[in-house]
């Protein structure tokens, strides 16, 4: 039982990290950024390339080196996210919202198959692996490395939440989310803030990519697709646009999958997860923590 909970929380923290970027971008410009999962993939490959350039790493140094790689990758994918917004989304800001969906899917294809052309279709294996021996906690088996990864994920999420709720920057983001036009009249540089939002969201996805690469080991050019879908689901469960809700949503989806596998078997897991999601949304149509917005005209 505790094992199931732990499995769910561990997977869920990856979902939450990726979902945050989804949710932030949605919150601020109401865009479903379908290319977001591919930034996760990009992060995994960027980390792979950096580790390859660094060369041989001894086992004892694995964690510190990985943390440095993590930071470098976050910078890289953050910049990639900014570039993506600049090229594919910003020119369409006045266009129908669904037009952005097309460029997002287009960007997703371009990133996936561009990476395929660059790195090949074969899966790659990380040179540094977080293996480790497992320890028993309350009847659940977990490893120190898992704990570290969850710790990093939580730290990143808490940091993000502080940034958004406590700083000037965060206030500007929230202002734009409410009303971009008025915010710009009030002196907020809307474009700059949106760029920074993309930077943050993409950096988090990149971080999740490196962590997944280092823990699971295998990366390939389509690895972002499924997790992008899961992250979108998690963001919606939590109440899309709401940061703490999104984190909860990610963890909840992880738990749903873990228990679904246990109760119904792997082949019905996604049916279970989506079924619960649909039932839940019919009862609570705005997600876990989504605000009850009266639709204004």
CA angle (20, 243, 220) in 5-degree steps: 10
Q: Which stretch binds other proteins (CB under 8 A): 52-60, 68-76, 97-105, 168-176?
A: 97-105
What's the closest the beta carbon of residue 183 comes to other proteins, in angstroms? 15
| Helices 223-238 and 36-54, packing angle to 10 deg | 130
Q: Round the CA-based radius of gyration of the chain to a whole number and report it.
A: 19
The residues in 131-160 that bind other proteins, with binding defined as CB under 8 A, are 131, 134, 141, 143
The size of the interface with other proteins (CB under 8 A), counted in residues, is 83
Structural contact between residues 238 and 287, judged by C-beta atoms closer than 8 angstroms: yes
Q: Which stretch binds other proteins (CB under 8 A): 16-24, 60-68, 190-198, 216-224?
A: 216-224
Q: Which of 94, 139, 181, 185 binds other proteins (CB under 8 A)?
A: 94
* Contact flag: residue 92 with other proteins (CB under 8 A): yes
Q: Which of 23, 103, 242, 246 binds other proteins (CB under 8 A)?
A: 103
* Contact flag: residue 269 with other proteins (CB under 8 A): yes
Q: How far is CA 87 from CA 3, 17, 38, 81, in A?
A: 45, 24, 16, 10
Instruction: Report residue 170 CA to chain centroid gap.
Output: 19
The residues in 160-179 that bind other proteins, with binding defined as CB under 8 A, are none
* Contact flag: residue 3 with other proteins (CB under 8 A): yes
- From residue 219 to residue 258, the character string flagging contacts with other proteins as x (rule: CB under 8 A) and all else as - is -x-xx-xx--x--xx--x---x----------------xx
Q: Which of 50, 65, 110, 148 binds other proteins (CB under 8 A)?
A: 110
> Tokens for 280?
């839940």
Q: Which of 200, 212, 214, 251 binds other proteins (CB under 8 A)?
A: 212
d(CA 152, CA 129): 17
One DSSP character per residue, 138-174 reads TTEEEEHHHHHHHHHHHHHHHHHHHHHHHSHHHHHHH
- The strand pair at 124-125 and 140-143 is best described as unpaired
Q: Which of 50, 57, 75, 102 binds other proteins (CB under 8 A)?
A: 102
Q: Which of 106, 162, 189, 191 binds other proteins (CB under 8 A)?
A: 106
CA angle (112, 118, 120) in 5-degree steps: 80
């Amino acid at each position: 039982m505790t094992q199931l909970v732990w499995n769910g929380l561990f997977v869920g923290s990856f979902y939450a990290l990726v979902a945050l970027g989804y949710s932030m971008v949605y919150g601020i410009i109401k865009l479903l950024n379908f290319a977001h999962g591919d930034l996760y993939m990009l992060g995994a490959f960027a980390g792979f390339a950096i580790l390859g350039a660094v060369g041989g790493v001894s086992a004892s140094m694995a964690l510190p080196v990985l943390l440095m790689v993590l930071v470098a990758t976050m910078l890289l994918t953050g910049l990639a996210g900014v570039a993506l917004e600049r090229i594919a989304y910003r020119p369409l800001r006045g266009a129908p919202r669904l037009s952005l969906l097309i460029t997002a899917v287009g960007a997703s294809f371009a990133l996936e198959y561009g990476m395929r052309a660059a790195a090949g279709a074969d899966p790659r294996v990380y040179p540094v692996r977080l293996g480790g021996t497992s320890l028993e906690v309350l009847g659940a088996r977990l490893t120190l490395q898992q704990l570290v990864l969850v710790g990093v994920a939580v730290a990143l999420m808490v940091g993000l939440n502080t940034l958004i709720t406590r700083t000037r920057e965060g206030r500007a983001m929230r202002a734009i989310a409410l009303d971009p036009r008025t915010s710009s009249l009030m002196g907020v540089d809307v474009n700059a803030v949106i760029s920074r939002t993309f930077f943050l969201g993409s950096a988090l996805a990149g971080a999740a990519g490196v962590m997944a690469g280092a823990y699971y080991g295998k990366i390939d050019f389509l690895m972002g697709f499924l997790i992008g879908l899961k992250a979108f689901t998690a963001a919606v469960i939590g109440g899309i646009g709401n940061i703490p809700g999104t984190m909860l949503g990610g963890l909840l989806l992880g738990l749903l999958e873990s228990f679904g596998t246990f109760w119904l078997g792997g082949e019905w897991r996604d049916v279970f997860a989506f079924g619960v999601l649909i039932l839940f949304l019919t009862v609570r149509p705005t997600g876990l923590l989504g605000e009850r917005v009266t639709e204004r005209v």
